[in-house]
Every structure is written in structure tokens, then in C-alpha cells.
Amino acid sequence: MGRDVREAVAEGARLYAAAQVVCGDHGRAVEAVQEALKPLQDEAVAWELDATPVARLQQVTEGRLRLESIERSGLRTVGRVLEAGPYRLRQIPGIGQRTADQILAAAQRLSEAVHEAVAVRIDVDRPEPRTTALVIALNLLVEAGPDGRRAVGMAEGLSQRLGPLLADARPAAGRFRMFLAGREKRSRALAAVDDIRSLVEDVDRAGVLELLTQASVDLLRGPATDIAAWVDFELRSAEYYSLLAEIPGRAPDVGAAQGFLPDELAERVRRQRLDDSGLRVSLRGYQEFGARFVLAQRKVVLGDEMGLGKTIQAIAALTHLATKGQSHFMVVCPPSVLVNWVREVEARSTLRCMLLHGPDRHEAFADWKGRGGVGVTTFDALRGFPTPGGGEVGMLVVDEAHSVKNPKTLRAQAVAQWVERCEHALFMTGTPMENRVGEFRNLIRMLRPGLAESLRERDASMGPVAFRRAVAPVYLRRNQRDVLAELPTLQCTDEWEELSVSDEEAYREAVRAGNFMAMRRAAYTRPEKSAKLGRLGEIVREAGENGQKTVVFSYFKDVLGVVGEALAGGVPVHGPLTGGVPAVRRQQVVDDFAAVPGPAVLLAQIQAGGTGLNMQAASVVVICEPQIKPTIEQQAVARAHRMGQVRPVRVHRLLATGGVDERMVKMLEAKTRLFDAYARRSAVAEATPDAVDVSDTELARRIVEEEQARLGMTDERLMPAE
């Protein structure tokens, strides 16, 4: 045989070996996680079974067992029955060998079901050796990142393809072997060599070998220290829990993850390929399905409950289209989330992103049209841009899509024109639409007129699941309780807002006066034009739509007054809780807030609400401005995120770009990391959080001076007012 044939086989063998190494390294990393997870999982299962009454065995056996004598003997839980074993059961009067076997078999089936469903919780405030071992083991896989995950998938695919090909091509590795092989084996060997050569060429073009090599390096990295692993877990807990959900190999609730779509439609969505090579983060299973749904159905409403990551699903769909040659995308959203969209696209993908907003928006639009990328603009600004030609824009994404539910408004008409010219359109809303058929029909009329006309007001009476099946071709919604069983109960989001013109004027006045405290609350000085207040209102309204209570924290009493006036007339508002309210009265206010059967808002000064009160009735927390010490925010959030909280807690920290908030966040970031890494692990530091000195006065002076310099006020520099 020729030299080129032998070289092709050798190249295939080297690639196969590299793939096998990655698979082996990943397998050992997974085994380490499984080993660390097992004692925690066994303990959680044992606790669950010990809390399960023995009467549940009747359900498993459809009432065929008589358990009265078992309960009288003191074995009142399923856990106690399993612990007793067959010998102890047979000692109970009336329990023979057959009955004992039936009881134990039923208990074992229930134990297996609990094992499948139980979720291991990692308590970051009470680290102990077993959870530390689990976090360290997970850290290796988290650090490998999305590229590591892609490398493992490629390695598995290459191993499956190259193994049989190399076996068939073995005779071609030498002339004598080829001579001794029969005609059929020679033919099969030459065909395998051609396939190997083609595969190796594809791999070389895609740079797969470099990806595999890097993955091996990452997976062989030594274990992190316990402090480093815990700090990283706090920063990226969702990624840890995402991996943890996959490690045991448990099958998720497929129906819930797929929004209870009809089987035929769900199968079509699963067949839709998703190229995630442009993403910088990994997707959870339900998020990947959501992105596939958007691509397969082309024009849809993604109505996932707040906190499930609608934005990353949209970005995943955009990056897929970009890999297929699409170059232009448009995101339209309220002004309050403009900056968040830009930051998310830039941080989570390789896509170019441009802000099409403000006085230079038309120049920016012209640049976007010429160079491509993701344009991010507002509903009002969209009206001023020319409608694109057919096929020019790969996808239109409309965030807070319920804002265009009224077809008579100019913003809705502008969106409708863009939707008509785009092959893909994604409407996003966290507001449940099942009981708002009229509004929902208006939205989907832009996407699928025929389906919209078939909906009637009375269709909502069929129930939410049945209604979602009826509108399945255009609507996907998942709830947190259905798909986030493994996620931690705390999710934190920095809401970056761009100051309005009015906000900016108030802020400049505070900077000119050298008043640090006025700078911190300038964004609320003129409520009618406040960007932060607008976003706060959206968060509260969406929480209310989902039946959730909200607690709003601020350092400043006057800010709470402004917030209270802005929210008046909506959901019930309680408080404000301030330092001047007697302790007994404070608890009464909190109790009244908790007693409200539906949505409500509690206003609290962060120093007063951050200590001594339990606010676990709230599952949404809003912090109006960054605090001087990280402990202040942590103690406030802990009022809601504590034992007794039955829903995930979402924390929204309102931050303004380009001013005091941004400077405070940057200056405190290093101190926060140090505090998390060391002081938080210390019982003394937890009891006396002020022991971590942040030097308030010096911090204020530095920020005022830097802001005066940035805004050209150096000649007017004054000492900061306290």
C-alpha cells in the first residue's frame, strides 16, 4: 500500500487516541463527583424516607397491603421498614415471609423513586467536609467551561466513528496485511481509509485537535483549594448545580422541560440542530430545548417564568443563526434593560453588539446596517428606523413583549412591520398569558395570524396546560418549580440602567456639590423620569403577575418614600420599615405583609430591615443602590433567603452606568471577594461584620474626586458631604 494510505491511518489513530484520552479524563472527573455526591445523596434519601409515612406503601401496591400491624410495631415510616429488614418484619404478628417480601419490595421501589427525585442542596453558609469535597470535584468540570463540554461531546463522537473505521482499515496499515486480506476486507479497508482521511481533514479545518488538547489540560488540572472552590461556587452556583443535575444520570421531567408540548411538535423541536459554538456559557437542558423551539418554529413567544434565562436562550438562537451565515439581528426592549442586553450578548457570546439609542442612534444604525451584529434599541427608537428588506435581518427579538399587546399603538405597529420582514421573530415575556387570551391573541397575530384568529376568549377556561397545548406551535412556557429542582434558592442579578437626561442632571448637581450621599440617590430625585424607578416598577409588576411578593431595600428613607408613591395604586404596599419604627411594630408590619394572600410589596431601610426580621414571604428582593459594605446587602438578603422560604429568591440590584454606582461596585469587588473567602467563614466575623473595614469616608472622598474629574469639575472639587 502507498505511503499516503499508511499516513492517513496513522493520523486517524492519533486522533482516536486523543479523543480517548479526553473521554477518559472526563470520565474520571465525573467519577470523582459521583463519589463525593453519593454520601450526601444517600443522606438526603434516608431523611426523605424517614419522613415518609408507611401508609405510602399502600399507594405503591394499589392498596393490596395491610399495614396496621406494621405501624403498631413502631415502624411508622418507610425508612424504618427498610432499616428493619426481613427478619424483624417476620417477628411481627400476622406478617409472614410472603408479606414481608411484598412490603420490602414496595419500600425499595419507593426508595428508588426518591433516589431519582431527591436534590442535594449545597449550603454555602455551613460548609462541611463532604460538601466541600463535592464543590471541589465539581470545580474541575466547571473550570473546563463550555469549550470543555464541547470537546467531550466531540471526543465521544470521534471515538464512536473512528473505532470501527480503524478496525476496518487495519489491513491497509501494511502491504503484507493487505496482501493476505481477502477481496472484501481489502475493499472495506480502502473505503475506511477514505472515510478516515475525510474525517481527519474536517477535524483539522475545525481546529478540533487543539480543542481536545486544551480539554485534557483543563481536566488534568490539580484540585482547587477549598476556599477558592467555595468562592467560585458562590459566583457561579448555577453552573455547579447545572452540572450536578446531569452527573447522577437522572432523567429530568421531560414534559415540564418541554413545556408540555404535544409529542409530535416536541419531537420536531428535538430534531432541530443547535450550533452553540458561538456561546461562552453552557446551556441547561430546558434552555437548549427553548433555543431549538425558537429556531424550529421561527416566530414564537417564549413565556418562561422570570429567572429561567430567557435572554440566554435568545442569544443561543442568535449565535446559531450567525453560524449559518446570518449577519444582522435586532433586539427591541424597554430602556431599562438596554444596558443589560448589551452586557449579556457581549459576555455570553462571540457576537458583536451595538447600542442603537440616544442622540447618535441613526449614525449607530447606519454602522450596524453596514457591519452587522446585534443591534439593541428601544420600542420608540425602532419607529424611527427604516423597515428592513425581506431576509435582511436574521431575527427580531422583542423583550417585555407584552408592551406591544395593544395593536393600535405606534410601537406595536412598528414591531409588526419588522416581524413581517424577518424570517425569525422571538417575543419574550415573563408574564403568564394563559388567562389573557385577548392580549395573547394580539401578540400572536403578529407572528401567526391564522392561529390568532382561531383563539376565543373562552378558550382559557380549558386550563393552562390544555391552553398551552392549543397554542403550542407559537408559545412555550416553563415554570421554575418544574425545571429548577437542583438550582440554589438564591439568584442575584445586577440590573444596569442608563441614566435618563433628568437623572443625569440631578447627578451632576450632586457631584458639583461634592455630596456623596446625594450622588448615591440622584437617580430617584426626579421620579417622573427615573430610569431606576421605571425598572423597579417593571420588576414589581412582573412579580405580581406571577403571584410573588417583593421586598424593596434602600439606605435612604426619602428614596423609599419615592418608591412608595410610585407603586401606590398597584399591589398593596407595606412600610416603610425604618430605624425609627419600634421593634414590635416592625414585626407587625412584616406579619401584615406576609398575611396578604397575593402579591404585595414591603419597603424597608436596609439597615433596619437587614437585622432581626424574617421576610421569607418575599421571593423577590430589590436593592435600590449599592451599599458601602458587602455585609449590609448580604444581611438584608438573608432576611428573605432563610429557612422557611419555599420559593427561589431572586435579588435585583439596581445600578446606574458611568457614575457612583459603577465606581462603588469596582472598588468594593476586591473587598467582597476577600470577605467571601475569609471573613464569611469566620464565626467571629459573622457576629461582628464591621470588623471588615471598608473605610467609608476615604471611599466617598475618592469617588467624589474621581467623578468631579471625569465630569470636568476639578476646579469645583469639594469635600464630600456625609
pLDDT of residue 687: 37
Q: Which residue has the higher pLDDT, 5 or 248?
A: 5
CA distances from 427 to 164, 247, 306, 404, 437 (A): 46, 33, 14, 10, 16
User: CB–CB of 178/172 below 8 Å?
Assistant: yes
Is the pLDDT score of 488 beyond 70?
no
CA pair distance 552, 418, nearest whole angstrom = 37
Is the pLDDT score of 519 beyond 80?
yes
Strand partners, 696: none
Is the pLDDT score of 350 beyond 50?
yes
User: CB–CB of 524/551 below 8 Å?
Assistant: no
pLDDT of residue 689: 37
Report the predicted TM-score, pTM, of the whole model to 2 decimal places: 0.65
pLDDT of residue 674: 43
Find cell 454606582 and name the residue: 661
Strand partners, 604: 553, 577
Domains of the chain: 1-121+142-222 (no CATH), 252-483 (3.40.50.10810), 490-716 (3.40.50.300)
pLDDT confidence bin for 373, thresholds 50/70/90: very high
Is the pLDDT score of 116 beyond 80?
no
Find cell 436562550 and name the residue: 313
pLDDT of residue 676: 40
Averaged over 689-707, what is the pLDDT? 68
Q: What mean pLDDT, rounded, does the chain reach?
A: 83
Is the pLDDT score of 691 beyond 50?
no
Is the pLDDT score of 638 beyond 70?
no
The residues, ordered by sequence, that sit 6+ positions from 515 with a Cβ below 8 Å of its Cβ are 720, 721
Q: Which three cell numbers stand for residue 468?
A: 398551552
pLDDT of residue 458: 53
Main-chain phi, psi angles of 441, to 5 degrees: -65, -40
Strands (E), 597-706: 601-605, 620-623, 649-656
Q: Is 510 exposed, middle or buried (0-12, 13-18, 19+ CB in 10 A)?
A: buried
pLDDT of residue 612: 47
Is the pLDDT score of 702 beyond 80?
yes
CA pair distance 172, 5, nearest whole angstrom = 7
User: Tens digit of pLDDT for each residue in 504-514?
Assistant: 999 999 999 99
Provide the 10 A C-beta neighbour count for residue 24. Answer: 13
pLDDT of residue 533: 95
User: Tens digit of pLDDT for each residue in 7-39?
Assistant: 888 889 999 999 999 999 999 999 999 999 999
pLDDT of residue 184: 75
User: Tens digit of pLDDT for each residue in 263-278?
Assistant: 899 999 999 999 988 9
Is the pLDDT score of 613 beyond 80?
no
Strands 328-333 and 475-476: unpaired
Main-chain phi, psi angles of 260, to 5 degrees: 55, 40
Q: Which three cell numbers stand for residue 72?
A: 403498631
pLDDT of residue 588: 83
Long-range contacts (CB closer than 8 Å, 24 or more residues apart) made by 110-113 = 110/49, 110/52, 110/56, 110/57, 110/60, 110/78, 111/45, 111/49, 111/78, 111/82
pLDDT confidence bin for 463, thresholds 50/70/90: low
**For the chain, what's the residue count?**
722
Q: What angle do CA 571, 574, 575 make, to 5 degrees?
A: 150
Identity of the highest mean pLDDT range in 53-57, 141-145, 306-310, 687-691: 141-145
Strand partners, 331: 376, 397
